[in-house]
Structure 1
């Protein structure tokens, strides 16, 4: 999600790190400064333009100025990317079982409405990525209906049928911990997540060719990249999800996919859902720009909750060293706090506003492309089942006000104090903390870079790390606790040849730096410059 089109593929990381590259043919106009922050939207819940209670494309278009109005300053959120959860036709409310890969869900609007959304987003310097769900289709997709009709079907080999391959149908899925095989017309098909989501067979060349064609189709409609659902499950070993041969086949597919998409859009951005250990995420970065950092998300929430700092600068720098080797230096970090599959941040933090601000401060001073789940900036609550973490976005204090969605009862909505209307003018609100932090990223290239390093301070209540962009360097320090903290900054050394001498940004005006000692009020974040 860059605001310029890269000239050659190798510039992906540079552009996504916030540097502007002059290329011709860009569809995305230069607008306000880059932040490298992407906002995840569940279309159904975000904004309703026609009064049917269901969010739609035109609703998002009408609210783009809330996200980024394309002008410097102001009180927009400042994101420069949006990720749309599935927008294709589906029998399910969530859309992760697709019935037509080249259409949009009619309850969200028309293809022209979608193109208008992408065009208006691009005018504001906002890139648009969309969920692409190709590990499986819906069981109601015409391909599957044809495949299930019998062994002589033209699409028979587009799905995995146990009897056709002589496979054992016993056992559960390593991915979903449920039955992996499901009966249809006397045969059993593979569906590792659910019987309504039959797995496509990527050993079939026609399937791979079709998915490449579909990816190109959406790039031609104006999208800038894809969030790749279940990216590590393209090929599946039901006995273990740690089979290297299976992983290598999945990586090879994504490399084939990327190479083909770059023929249409050289700077296409691919971020994968690869929920696994670092060692198994790394190989996917040969093909993908980014993979969501689930371990980091857990650490950020845990540290905010416990008010005790881990040495994330050291740990993450070592992870990045491995990822750079895995990706020939091209990977971009993708930090986040929660998404549509996880307990919402405010609920995970027990409705502690200070802890939520701390978590936001850590997230938005992390390297790479930060992702924010819709409503996270307001402190929306939500816990499983999934519908409860995907509730309508609260624009106004009063539920069901014009523009709000009503497709699902908002059980966590409360008294309206968690809403844009209530938080907009409150300088101490979580919304305005997010706005402040994102504006720091717009102003400081070190904060939107892809680099992080250790900055050791002797205080367990204070998290600290270095951020760098070329020769420029910043130190970020967070007081995670409810007590004031004073830290002595590390002495000048070979690794730190020059002391940090001034506070560039702070969330509390009373933070001060004197004679190498930094005083941090409770739950305060500062960024130091030389």
Structure 2
């Protein structure tokens, strides 16, 4: 949603929507405020009720790209991706149209993935140095690319000096930084992510919800709170533009029986509000996106003076399902309901963060059974939605990958050959992206019909058209189940986005979407052959058309 300083929200409610919208943009169809959105979502209703009020309220956004540094690009020939490798490929990202990058953990860690930190102020030696990190942010900023980084405050590594000191001495100042109990203490054992989260150590045990190598920090300890805010400020001072907050709801959500209790939700919200307040003096506009893998009702409070965005896991499922089944996912209707709730919680300051897959999920191309046309339509849906869409590295090429985690974080293939040319990372042998199914930047860049070319086209549309990049969303009801359509709307213009998700040509009736006498025309089409006459839009198979 738009920041308060950028303009006043235009809100059209109930039966007055058509007239109010006509004054600003022309008739947009019929919308009405139905049952309150929180009640609808909380009730889990699947019945399509009246859509909520359309908020003509902008979400100025950009496209972000998630990078697992280890798998991205190797600048020094050791087979491991590094920060200088990311810097070397900023022009690739700029050419793709990317406006922001999210770096998975770059701090020292005993693991390959880095989500168990041993030094919050350092850089993983495999990835380079602090000077390399500063150079990356500087070069990214020269290209208009923001840099956010993973920040893991729920837990540290069991190898962290704080934890070692806490275990070694009951009188250590770090003892209360963790949750340590006697081995016979009666404690809850229903871990929020499954299993018993308590791990034995001599005559004691400690809490580690995710694993024994990731002991949970105690955020009730004031010194821990001060330290995590200090860490955030440190990286902002080094040029970072914001953070992706790992496991955000697990700071206090340790047990399955209490994770969604009012008390736990309130404590999580209070901590993240404190973190936001603590870093605001260093960078008031730092962008914070949270990993809250839950329903919109659970997510909404995190957007109140804490996070700017939270990843939209529910929408990801809908986009993939719609593309896979070649059926309208009805995403705009759902988002209108969610945005009404998010707007109220955030005071109109939130930005959505839609995506298709990430480093914890099976890759998009594997989820879609290797169907490139379906992958193109999933991308088209994603990149025509409001907010900051996130692309997982290699998604633009059609990389495949299925759990376990290492297999969804394979090296990005830069070259047609697997011969290990300069820059290609080799830390993990390819299982899903090896010949004969190997895709590569080199091959995709040479093919004007490739998935990479499709991503470039869609992101270029978004960067060229403010209404597509920044606009709100409004459902457009039509009867063809193979067609998805919705308006993108700013205070000064609107655009109709129409997707043919099927392999057959389709016709969409637009006669109810524009007022009489309003001239309409196709302003962008992903394939030749689209045609608009007398309110009837003809769409080629697997295509997207923008109409104004």
TM-score by length of 2: 0.87
| Correspondences of 1:286-435 after superposition (within 5 Å) | 286=304, 287-399=306-418, 400-415=420-435, 417-435=438-456
Q: CA RMSD in A?
A: 1.8
Is it true that 1:263 corresponds to 2:281 in the alignment? yes
- Please report how far the alpha carbon of residue 281 of structure 1 lies from its aligned counterpart in structure 2 after TM superposition: 0.5
- Cα shift readout 1:465-522 (whole Å, capped 9, x = no counterpart): 11112221011110011111011114257xx687561111110111111110000011
1:28 corresponds in structure 2 to: none
Matched residues, number: 492
Whether the 8 Å CA contact 1:270–1:289 is kept in 2: the answer is: yes
1:480 corresponds in structure 2 to: 501
- Please report how far the alpha carbon of residue 185 of structure 1 lies from its aligned counterpart in structure 2 after TM superposition: 3.1
Rounded Cα–Cα distance in structure 2 between residues aligned with 1:363 and 1:94: 27
Is it true that 1:242 corresponds to 2:260 in the alignment? yes
User: Is the alpha carbon distance of 1:499 and 1:302 closer, same or farther for their aligned partners in structure 2, counting shifts above 3 Å?
Assistant: farther
- Please report how far the alpha carbon of residue 360 of structure 1 lies from its aligned counterpart in structure 2 after TM superposition: 0.3
Whether the 8 Å CA contact 1:136–1:200 is kept in 2: the answer is: yes
Deviates more, 1:410-419 or 1:132-141: 410-419
Rounded Cα–Cα distance in structure 1 between residues aligned with 2:167 and 2:506: 65
Rounded Cα–Cα distance in structure 1 between residues aligned with 2:329 and 2:92: 34
Rounded Cα–Cα distance in structure 2 between residues aligned with 1:40 and 1:525: 25
1:507 corresponds in structure 2 to: 526
2:293 corresponds in structure 1 to: 275
- Please report how far the alpha carbon of residue 10 of structure 1 lies from its aligned counterpart in structure 2 after TM superposition: 5.0
Structure 2, unaligned runs of 5 or more: 9-59
- Cα shift readout 1:170-214 (whole Å, capped 9, x = no counterpart): 52312x212210112311111111110000000000000000000
Given candidates 151, 156, 163, the residue that maps to 1:137 is: 156
Whether the 8 Å CA contact 1:343–1:382 is kept in 2: the answer is: yes
Whether the 8 Å CA contact 1:138–1:197 is kept in 2: the answer is: yes
Secondary structure at the aligned position of 1:148 is classed as: helix
- Cα shift readout 1:291-347 (whole Å, capped 9, x = no counterpart): 000000000000000001132111111100000001011100000000000000000
Higher relative contact order (CA 8 A, sep 6+): 2
Rounded Cα–Cα distance in structure 1 between residues aligned with 2:545 and 2:211: 46
1:19 corresponds in structure 2 to: none
Secondary structure at the aligned position of 2:96 is classed as: coil
Whether the 8 Å CA contact 2:353–2:388 is kept in 1: the answer is: yes
Rounded Cα–Cα distance in structure 1 between residues aligned with 2:5 and 2:149: 22
- Please report how far the alpha carbon of residue 35 of structure 1 lies from its aligned counterpart in structure 2 after TM superposition: 6.6
Is it true that 1:471 corresponds to 2:489 in the alignment? no
1:67 corresponds in structure 2 to: 93
Secondary structure at the aligned position of 1:346 is classed as: helix
| Correspondences of 1:156-195 after superposition (within 5 Å) | 156-163=175-182, 168-169=186-187, 171-174=189-192, 176-195=193-212
Rounded Cα–Cα distance in structure 1 between residues aligned with 2:73 and 2:482: 40
Rounded Cα–Cα distance in structure 1 between residues aligned with 2:332 and 2:375: 20
2:230 corresponds in structure 1 to: 213
1:18 corresponds in structure 2 to: none
Whether the 8 Å CA contact 1:354–1:523 is kept in 2: the answer is: yes
Structure 1, unaligned runs of 5 or more: 1-5, 15-33, 69-75
| Deviating 4+ runs (over 3 angstroms) | 9-14, 496-500
Deviates more, 1:230-239 or 1:270-279: 230-239
User: Is the alpha carbon distance of 1:237 and 1:451 closer, same or farther for their aligned partners in structure 2, counting shifts above 3 Å?
Assistant: same
2:470 corresponds in structure 1 to: 449
Whether the 8 Å CA contact 1:148–1:185 is kept in 2: the answer is: no
| Correspondences of 1:36-75 after superposition (within 5 Å) | 36-68=62-94
